[in-house]
């Protein structure tokens, strides 16, 4: 026969004890899950913030480098549909010319220039002399001429044209720029920043962002003022920048 003490020792947990354990485990599970969720939220917010800031810094740095290499007096703000675009001519090379044909001189099919670094010259197909106004970048101004080749086998180098050309004016410093097609950096209505239709940044609040050009004066260079408000989830970052553009043609 079993004694009273052995029956008591063989008895299992009561219903109240099981319920108590389940409640305690539930409380612990809720606490642990909240802790893990809090940590994952912090990580997600930090990742979003880092992505936002790094994307904004990349876009601003890209703008700084490109605008500083713009042809003097070629910068302008235009509207392309619902987009606001900063348009300019990039400089792919610059040097000093020996002489250029200027009326009433006879046209020539080549000019001589001082040797210069030609790292990006493959992007250029035109030369321009003394651009003092934005309209000077038009072919009709007579200050822009398309060239075919650069002969660097002789000193000074020779820039060859397909036909005989004549320029409208000399440059006081005899400076000649090698340029290509226009570059457009557009702020679109969908919140993206695009360079020649290629997206370089996104998540921009268009209504709170500004791109404007302040023309040069006798006292200072031209300025490009850029203010971009980036948004990612609940994160915001405002980047404001003023870029000085050399004004010496």
The predicted structure's pLDDT at residue 149: 95
The predicted structure's pLDDT at residue 35: 64
Please give the average pLDDT of every successive group of 10 residues along the chain, which has 249 residues.
Answer: 53 73 77 67 70 81 88 88 90 94 93 91 93 84 92 95 94 94 92 91 90 82 89 81 80
What are 161-165's contacts with CB under 8 Å, separation 24+?
A: 161/108, 161/109, 161/110, 162/109, 163/109, 164/107, 164/108, 164/109, 165/101, 165/107, 165/108, 165/109
The predicted structure's pLDDT at residue 33: 72
Please state the pTM of the whole predicted model.
0.76
The predicted structure's pLDDT at residue 184: 92
The structural domains of the chain, with segments of one domain joined by +, span 47-87+184-245, 90-179
Is the Cα torsion angle 122, 124, 128, 129 positive or negative in sign? negative
The predicted structure's pLDDT at residue 36: 64
What region does 196 belong to: left with phi over 0, alpha with psi -120 to 50, or beta?
A: left
Q: Residues 6 or more apart from 206 whose CB is under 8 A from it? A: 187, 188, 189, 191
The predicted structure's pLDDT at residue 15: 75
């Amino acid at each position: 026969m079993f004694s009273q003490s052995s029956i008591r020792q063989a008895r299992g947990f009561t219903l109240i004890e099981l319920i108590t354990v389940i409640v305690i485990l539930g409380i612990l599970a809720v606490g642990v899950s909240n802790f893990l969720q809090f940590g994952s939220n912090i990580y997600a917010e930090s990742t979003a913030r880092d992505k936002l800031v790094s994307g904004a810094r990349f876009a601003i740095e890209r703008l700084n480098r490109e605008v500083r290499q713009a042809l003097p007096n070629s910068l302008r703000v235009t509207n392309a549909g619902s987009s606001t675009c900063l348009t300019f001519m990039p400089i792919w090379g610059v040097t000093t010319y020996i002489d250029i044909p200027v009326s009433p001189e006879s046209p020539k099919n080549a000019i001589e220039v001082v040797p210069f670094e030609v790292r990006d010259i493959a992007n250029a197909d035109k030369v321009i002399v003394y651009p003092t106004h934005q309209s000077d970048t038009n072919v009709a101004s007579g200050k822009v001429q398309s060239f075919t080749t650069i002969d660097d086998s002789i000193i000074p180098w020779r820039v060859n044209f397909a036909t005989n050309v004549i320029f409208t004016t000399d440059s006081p410093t005899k400076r000649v720029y090698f340029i290509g097609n226009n570059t457009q950096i557009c702020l679109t209505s969908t919140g993206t920043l695009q360079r020649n239709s290629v997206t370089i940044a996104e998540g921009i609040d268009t209504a709170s962002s500004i791109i404007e050009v302040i023309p040069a004066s006798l006292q200072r260079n031209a300025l490009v003022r850029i203010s971009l408000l980036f948004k990612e989830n609940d994160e915001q970052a405002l980047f404001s920048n003023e870029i000085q553009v050399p004004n010496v043609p």
